[in-house]
Amino acid sequence: MAAADIRHELTCSICQEIYTDPVSLPCGHNFCQVCIERTWKRQESLKEDHSCPECTQSYRRKPELKRNGCLSNIAKQFFSTHPEQDGTGIFCNYCIHSPVPATKSCLLCEAFLCDAHVRVHSKSAEHVLTEPTASFSNRKCSVHNELLKGHRVELLNEASEKKKEKLRNVLVKLSPYREKTERGVQRLQERMREVAEKAAGETEKVTALFRDIKEQLEALEKRLLSDISRQKEELSLQLTNLIQELEIKKIKLSRKICQIEELCNMADPLTVLQEQESDGTAFCGAEETDDEDRERDDIKVPAVDVDLISEKLLTGLVGIVTDINGSISRHKDEILYSNDINTTTESNDSTYPISCNQVTELTPSILCRQEATVLALDINTAANNVSVSEDRKTAIYSLRDRCRPQTPERFKYYQALSLISSLKPYSNDINRTTEGKDSTYPISCNQVTEFMPSLLCWQEATDLVLDINTAANNVSVSEDGKTVSYSLTDQCRPPGPERFNYYQALSKESFHSRQYYWEVEGSKKGDWRVGVAYPSIERDGVTFHLGDNCKSWCLCKENNDYSMRHDRKVISLPHVPSCRRIRILLDNEAGRLSFYELSESIRHLHTFTGKFTEPLHAAFWVGRFGEPSVTIISSLFN
């Protein structure tokens, strides 16, 4: 009995074996180290708190396992003095006088039974008897901690019919989807055929159009070559007649020269005087011939009429362009068939037809700014062959140079000239008839706004976003990477060589050798700075703030005043901030960095000039007070 009691006290409640490397929990219960670690590992996989399998006391943190040396020595001593009586080493829990090998295990009671106690044990179905096992855990569900259910058996035919019934239900649900998919495939195939037919028809039209253009150009070439050949024949005939007249005159002059030379060589003065009287008429004729020769020398030699040929060439080309214009206008609905295709796809691209008349009427464009419902033209972007009205609502083409100062924003003259020569052929006639005059062609603001994308050289740049790896831990960056604001809570970002210590962040994109501009909007309250910086700018120290070193340039909004900062030099601006939206224009090649306030009319604030020796990044600084923030609105490059 004493041996059985000792064995019970030395048995691990998990594996039902004598303790091996016993450890103690804070609650006082002991377990084999391997058993308790395996139990806790299973609890961790189920995302449960660690708990004692004996008293179910739970621990928020995994407790430290303390090795029970005393209990380990007792277990070893018991093993040496009480060898196992059978192969399993499992004894009946109810035999208290002497250890009796167990023959069955009750999974519900979690007890071992000998033959005698099996006979008197409960015969209820809940008390499942199995062969003796060292652990009951493998017979219980690890999730519900209940006994594993046995397999339910049913006839194959019944199981098959149940499975077939489920499959029939699935078929009923899947059949409509298959039919719908087939109809979708048929519609897309029909659309594909329509696209192919329309594309083939359009190809034929375009081919015919270019064939017609080629034929008209060839016909124009033949007419012009024929005119040139006719002029050549007429001029050649005139020149031949002139040459013949001059040859006859040359013969007469040679004859007279011989007569005069003979008189000059005579030694008899009487003969010379007598000949003078008879040749007086000839001499007078010679003098008249000299006058006639001088008159002939004043007559211009006939030449090919290049101006006439050029005029016919221009007229013919204008006629061809006019015919093409009419053809395109008549068939513009068919040409824009792609609109129908776009509506059947998932693409959001939209096409906007522009008639040739509208394109022809366009003149050099002006960069404009639209704020709310007020649209005003920016005089700083107007080309020198474009005049802007006083109310900045009308742009007019001018044959006179406006002699405005050259700025990075101003359109170049050759761009406007290219548009006029290619889209407005009759401008040559205007130049001939209005030489020295100031002719104007008004453009409405609606036209400027509508056709701005076709006239500007600016293109959408890669999306300008903030680099989270440079953002200080006291600034917050929005999910889209467009807004930086001051944060009262530490963002706990990992440290790195690119991260600022306080207040600042740079853009991911760097600017190299092109023209760039981007627009930002600052908060109404608080202090903020926007500008550019080299990637080598200091991340910490006394002068790492934007504009306080030689590696950054910025516009500073502080106490509702503007100032420009670079290399610790401050330029105060007289402008009172009237708009929170700022445009920054960077021309790397020209070494210019300009800042504009996008109020009702664009206001130039300041331009830095110099040579940029490193790639530049957009830079942002936000102060501590007033909840300051800066948001990137858009970005373009040229």
Tens-place pLDDT, residues 577-606: 888 899 999 988 889 999 999 887 778 899
Q: 475-637: which CATH architecture? A: Sandwich (2.60)
Considering the chain, what is the average pLDDT of its residues?
76
210 pLDDT higher than 80: yes
Model pLDDT, residue 462: 52
Question: Measured between alpha carbons, how far apart are the two ends of the chain, in Å?
Answer: 98
Q: Which two tokens stand for residue 625?
A: 């007070």
542 pLDDT higher than 50: yes
**How far apart, in Å, are the Cα atoms of 629 and each of 78, 501, 529, 555?**
76, 18, 10, 14
**How far apart, in Å, are the Cα atoms of 461 and each of 458, 518, 532?**
9, 9, 17
> pLDDT, tens digit, for every residue of 99-112?
677 888 887 788 88
> pLDDT, tens digit, for every residue of 272-331?
776 655 455 555 455 555 555 555 555 556 677 787 788 778 887 887 887 777 777 666
- Tell the burial category of 528 from Cβ atoms under 10 Å away from its Cβ (0-12, 13-18, 19+): buried
Sequence-distant (≥ 6) Cβ neighbours of residue 113 within 8 angstroms: 92, 93, 94, 102, 103, 104, 105, 106, 121, 129
- Spacing of C-alpha 225 from chain mean position: 52
416 pLDDT higher than 50: no
Kindly compute the dihedral angle of the four CA atoms of residues 297, 303, 306, 308, in this order, to the nearest 10 degrees.
Answer: 100
| Domain parsing of the chain, residue ranges | 2-139, 169-353, 354-457, 475-637
> pLDDT, tens digit, for every residue of 169-194?
999 999 999 999 999 999 999 999 99
**pLDDT band at residue 417 under the 50/70/90 scheme:** very low
CA–CA dist 523, 622 (Å, integer): 10
CA–CA dist 5, 78 (Å, integer): 12
Residues forming a β-bridge with 188: none
Model pLDDT, residue 616: 93
For the four alpha carbons of 351, 354, 359 and 365, in that order, the dihedral sign comes to negative
> pLDDT, tens digit, for every residue of 423-475?
333 334 333 333 433 333 344 444 444 434 433 444 444 578 999 999 999 99
> pLDDT, tens digit, for every residue of 42-73?
888 888 888 898 888 888 888 888 888 888 88
> pLDDT, tens digit, for every residue of 215-272?
888 988 898 898 888 888 888 888 888 889 899 999 999 998 998 888 888 877 777 7
* Residues 377 and 470 sit within 8 Å (Cβ to Cβ): no
CATH class, range 2-139: alpha beta
**Residue 425 is inside which H or E element, if any?**
none
Q: Residues 187-208: what's their mean pLDDT?
A: 91
8 pLDDT higher than 80: no
- Could you check whether 2-139 and 475-637 share the same CATH topology? no
**pLDDT band at residue 528 under the 50/70/90 scheme:** very high
Q: Where are the alpha helices (DSSP H) in 46-155?
A: 69-81, 115-120
13 pLDDT higher than 80: yes
Strand order in the sheet with 569-572: 504-511, 616-622, 528-533, 552-558, 561-566, 569-572
